[in-house]
Amino acid sequence: MTAGFWAWSGAANADETPPVVVDEPTVIEAAPEPEPELLVVEVAPPSAVVEPEPATIVEPAPEPVPTSQAEAVSVSEPADTADTAGAVQEPESELTPTPSPTTADVDVDPVSAADIEPTSQVASSVDVIPAVVGGGVYGTGGMLWEFTTAGVSTGTCAGGCGLLASMFGLAFDPGTGSLYGTDIGSGSLWEFTTAGIATGTCGFGCGPLPVPMFGLAFDPGTGSLYGTAPGAVLYEFTTAGIPTGTCATGCALPASIEGLAFDPVAGVLYGTSGMLWEFTTAGIAIGTCATGCALPAFMSGLAFDPVAGVLYGTSGGLFEFTTAGIATGTCAAGCGLPAFMDGLALAADVALSATKTGGV
């Protein structure tokens, strides 16, 4: 017990040491603790400093630029090859095959368009004479007859259909499918179906016309009818028989025409009078047969085929010949008909109709 008191008694001098001893460890221990915090701060800047990233950003930046402007890069090739020839050549080699197949595809389109253009031209010529009637050729002369371009009877009027008058001239309107005929007895214009049934404005006759018409032809472009009369005169009138156009009062012809046909492709008329004649819708001689072309026979009826570009004529039988009068086709030497036909008309689908004088 006394020893213990002695230890505290000496504590008077020890008052200096205990505070000194206590203060020193706290100060020393607190000082090293913030030092590792500085080490943590030093680790952060190297992680925050990202030097390789700008290097990677700079390299891909020039690469997409030539891809969007392939043509511009090809122009600036000499400047780029001086710095980085290898880097520029690689994207250029990839861009070069890309436009070449594209141009190949573009080349195919105009070719297909070129294929369409001739088709549209053929269709336009066919549209002038639309297909309306199924059958062959129509002929008149007391009755209405239907037969093929080889003279074989066919259709409703294969055995003849009755008409209201004896038709001498005959023409076909592809727009309505009607036939028009001229009666030289009364000088009237008649309209009837391909079965001989009266129809339209002139179903029971219009007129009389300025003069009796021997030849008759229809222009699908203007809707006018052309007729030829004795004395080598050409007339133009409507489908109601009203005079119209240049030849409303008559145009002089190179010869007295009996059979008459219109070519809708060339816009000219053909006529027969022992020979074949070609002239305009104003009666002016034109073309190969301006002065007349020889025919295999005297043709009373005449019809033009706009698809084949040939003419058909009647002279006891059916004859086929070119627009220069040269015999051709199945009926080059003549094909038999069921009766003698004065008028002749070719329907849109190569159907002929003819009229026979004096009945069967």
pTM score: 0.62
Question: Highest mean pLDDT range out of 42-56, 57-71, 129-143, 241-255?
Answer: 241-255
Q: What is the pLDDT of residues 10-30, one digit of tens each?
A: 444 444 445 444 444 444 444
As a whole number, the mean pLDDT across the chain is 73
**Which whole number is the average pLDDT over 224-247?**
96
What pLDDT, on the 0 to 100 scale, is given for residue 119?
Answer: 32
Q: What is the largest CA-CA distance in the chain?
A: 179
Cα gap 67→91, rounded to integer Å: 7
Measured torsion, CA atoms of residues 322, 323, 326, 328, in degrees rounded to the nearest 10: 10
* Three-class DSSP labels, the chain: CHHHHHHHHCHHHHCCHHHHHHHHHHHHHHCCCHHHHHHHHHHHHHHHCCCHHHHHHHCCCCCHHHHHCHHHHHHCHHHHHHHHHHHHHHHHHHHCCCHHHHHHHHHHHHHHHHHHHHHHHHHHHHHHCCCCCCCCEEEECCEEEEECCCCCECCCCCCCEECCCCCCEEEEECCCCEEEEEECCCCEEEEECCCCCECCCCCCCECCCCCCCCEEEEECCCCEEEEEECCCEEEEECCCCCECCCCCCCEECCCCCCEEEEECCCCEEEEECCEEEEECCCCCECCCCCCCEECCCCCCEEEEECCCCEEEEEECEEEEECCCCCECCCCCCCECCCCCECEEEECCCCCEEEEECCCC
Strand partners, 275: 294
Peptide bond into 110 cis (omega under 30): no
- Residue 194 near residue 156 (C-beta atoms within 8 A): yes
* Percent of the chain with pLDDT strictly greater than 90: 51
**Which whole number is the average pLDDT over 247-273?**
96
What pLDDT, on the 0 to 100 scale, is given for residue 212?
Answer: 92
Lowest mean pLDDT among 97-106, 119-128, 217-226, 245-254: 119-128
Other Cβ atoms closer than 10 A to 248: 15
**Domains parsed from the chain with CATH numbers:** 137-356 (2.120.10.30)
Q: Which of 67, 158, 134, 140 is nearest to 347 (CA)?
A: 134
pLDDT of 277 over the 90 cut? yes
pLDDT of 182 over the 50 cut? yes
Top-confidence residue, 156 or 65:
156
pLDDT of 5 over the 70 cut? no
> Where does residue 244 rank: exposed (0-12), middle (13-18), buried (19+ CB within 10 A)?
middle
Q: In this structure, are strands 268-272 and 259-263 parallel, antiparallel, or unpaired?
A: antiparallel
Question: Highest mean pLDDT range out of 36-40, 140-144, 203-207?
Answer: 203-207
Dihedral (CA of 169, 170, 171, 176) sign: positive
**Which whole number is the average pLDDT over 317-330?**
96
Cα gap 223→229, rounded to integer Å: 20
What pLDDT, on the 0 to 100 scale, is given for residue 121?
Answer: 32
Q: What is the pLDDT of residues 191-227, one digit of tens each?
A: 999 999 999 999 999 989 999 999 999 999 999 999 9
> Where does residue 2 rank: exposed (0-12), middle (13-18), buried (19+ CB within 10 A)?
exposed
- Residue 189 near residue 202 (C-beta atoms within 8 A): yes
**Which whole number is the average pLDDT over 142-166?**
92
**Which whole number is the average pLDDT over 223-235?**
96
What pLDDT, on the 0 to 100 scale, is given for residue 184?
Answer: 87
Q: What is the pLDDT of residues 62-106, one digit of tens each?
A: 454 444 433 433 433 444 433 434 444 444 444 444 444 443 343
